[in-house]
Every structure is written in structure tokens, then in C-alpha cells.
């Protein structure tokens, strides 16, 4: 058995401790150790964005971050996006715009869109397309996703 490291971090506002092997990615830790399966594995090499989370305010592919690197950091995942009694405006905009079909890429797009709007509350369409280019969607052709992010920006 590979040796495990104790890691203390903050996830979606909660202090979280876990044990992980040095080779385990943050994605693996979230999904397999903490049962936070909202972040998805589409490629495991940073090309599809389905595992996007926000780490200390910065958008990352969680498959490219090691679990042990997150000690003392702040992690935001799709599970922390909605308030207990209402969805986040980006989530509402995705539903109202029918911006998902199969939904596997949706958590990644939501986190990517949140990171964009946190830094640029009024993006133009080209800015949205540029920012979201790291997230692949095979179902929608992106049209309704781009509209949803623009709508969410207007609503926030």
C-alpha cells in the first residue's frame, strides 16, 4: 500500500481533512475519497474541463492538481454553488436557456462560468467564448451555453 498523507483544506466553506496517496489527483480525492462526484472525469489530462473547480479563486482542472497540493487552500466545487434554498443565478440561467443536454459537462461549465463572472461581471460574447474554450461540450454546440452565461451576467 502506498503511503498516505494527511491533508487539511477547505471545500465549499467547510473545513475538510482527508488522507491521500501522493499520486492521487484532486479530482480523484473529490470523487473517490470525499464522494463529491459533481466534478466529472472526461479525459484526466486537462483537455475537457469536465472536472473544473476553483482553487484559491483560480479556475483549475482538478485532474491536473494533486490532492496533496490543496493543503491550506480553498476549493469551490459545483456542490457548493447553490444556496440551501435557491440556485445560483448561473444555474438558473442554464436551466432557463436549456443549456445542457446530457449534463456531464455542466458542472465544469458552471464552475468555469462562475470564475469568469467573479472576475469579469459583464463579459462580451467573444470574452465568454474565449474563457469557456477550455470546457468541451459535445451535445449543445455551445450556443445555449454562451447565451446562459451572458444571461447570468445580466441577472447578477
In the complex, the residues that contact another protein under the rule CB under 8 A are 1-2, 21, 23, 31, 35-45, 47-48, 50, 77-79, 81-82, 87, 91, 94-98, 100-107, 110, 128-130, 132-147
- C-beta neighbour count of 27 within 10 angstroms: 24
Nearest residue (CB) to another protein, 52 versus 70: 52
- Give dist(CA 38, CA 50) in Å, integer: 9
Q: How far apart are the first and last CA of the chain?
A: 48
Q: What is the DSSP letter of 118?
A: H
Nearest residue (CB) to another protein, 121 versus 141: 141
The owner of cell 470523487 is 31
Minimum CB distance to another protein, residue 71 (Å):
21
Nearest residue (CB) to another protein, 72 versus 156: 156
Amino acid at each position: 500500500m502506498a503511503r498516505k498523507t494527511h491533508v487539511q483544506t477547505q471545500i465549499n466553506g467547510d473545513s475538510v481533512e482527508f488522507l491521500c496517496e501522493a499520486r492521487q489527483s484532486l479530482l480523484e480525492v473529490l470523487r473517490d475519497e470525499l464522494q463529491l462526484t459533481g466534478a466529472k472525469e472526461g479525459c484526466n489530462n486537462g483537455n475537457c474541463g469536465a472536472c473544473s473547480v476553483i482553487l484559491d479563486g483560480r479556475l483549475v482542472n482538478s485532474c491536473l492538481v494533486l490532492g496533496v497540493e490543496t493543503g491550506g487552500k480553498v476549493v469551490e466545487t459545483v456542490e457548493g454553488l447553490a444556496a440551501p434554498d435557491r440556485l445560483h443565478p448561473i444555474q438558473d440561467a442554464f436551466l432557463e436557456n436549456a443549456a445542457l443536454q446530457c449534463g456531464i459537462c455542466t458542472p465544469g461549465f458552471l464552475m468555469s462560468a462562475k470564475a469568469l463572472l467573479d472576475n469579469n461581471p459583464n463579459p462580451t460574447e467573444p470574452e465568454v467564448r474565449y474563457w469557456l474554450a477550455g470546457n468541451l461540450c459535445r451535445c449543445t454546440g455551445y450556443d445555449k451555453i454562451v447565451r446562459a452565461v451572458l444571461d447570468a451576467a445580466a441577472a447578477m
